[in-house]
Structure 1
């Protein structure tokens, strides 16, 4: 079934005229796109050095990342294409040391590849820009809260997650 025999050769007739599965190359590219959808709306990422330390990094200054995603109109990759969404301003913090600067470079690369933010519909039905699953420390201190320092595994965890998204 799905083939015809011609003397001693078999010819597949099941996928004539492109009616079969995508090529292996197309499948691989689709897999990459699905694992790291680039749906981030337009925005800006800047950073400054603060002359203060973070808990757990007493010898280092602090890198403060400033993200700004303005209000906008959703594209076809967002929950409600053509509708408006509310933007967001987020501050994030890294220690100003070798590892912190490496994570900053990786976050900058991820931002430029449109992987840091997404548009979602929140619990009250509003469409808003928010961070993706790439972890950020949005509070410089706060103890055991997951979005603050101290957190001795944060830089390593963030590098691993970015590597899984193809950011190295």
Structure 2
């Protein structure tokens, strides 16, 4: 994974009508049971993330509160797929997801990027859940992502002074260090 993979600009949409994905706790017992069951089978090291791709590029722009740093844009792409036994409705389709997330391009941001990449490879960042409209979609699991470069924490953006510490702790709680 890295910035050398593509210089093409990706079109990124906010998820679920701009509200961001619901926290895992709000996704319902079926999703939580699927996640717990998958973790039990794999000793807590793997989640129930569908097949997807994670890449990143450096943008020559700053994030709020990081005036001297460029920005790392992480691109997550999941094609339409069919749910497995790990998901709420095995055999049923789920909708694709294209999502961008942002980190400051500094020592802490690059460290978090490596941890997010490890969590992605362990299938811990995303899952399949049913949204408010009753559609099965790919959504974030329990690790928050900054899907907006600005606008504040209320819209999953920067500035958010505790974000990097919070993500590091949540990843460590999942065994990602």
Output the TM-score relative to the length of structure 1.
Answer: 0.78
The residue number in structure 1 matching 2:144 is 135
Where does residue 51 of structure 2 map in the other structure? 42
Query: Over aligned residue pairs, what C-alpha RMSD do you find?
Result: 1.6
Stretches of structure 2 that go unaligned for 5 or more consecutive residues are 1-38
Give how far 1:30 is off.
3.2
Higher strand share: 1
Which residue of structure 2 aligns with residue 30 of structure 1? 40
1:74-125 deviation per Cα after TM superposition (whole angstroms, max 9, x unaligned): 0001000001000100000000000000000000000000001100011121
Change (3 A) 1:85 1:166: same
Unaligned runs of 5+ in 1: 1-28
4+ residue runs over 4 A deviation: none
Query: Which of 1 and 2 has higher RCO (CA within 8 Å, sep 6+)?
Result: 2
2:134 alignment counterpart: 125
TM-score (norm 2): 0.75
Aligned counterparts, 1:141-160, within 5 A: 141-160=150-169
Structure of higher CA gyration radius: 1
> How many pairs were matched up?
139
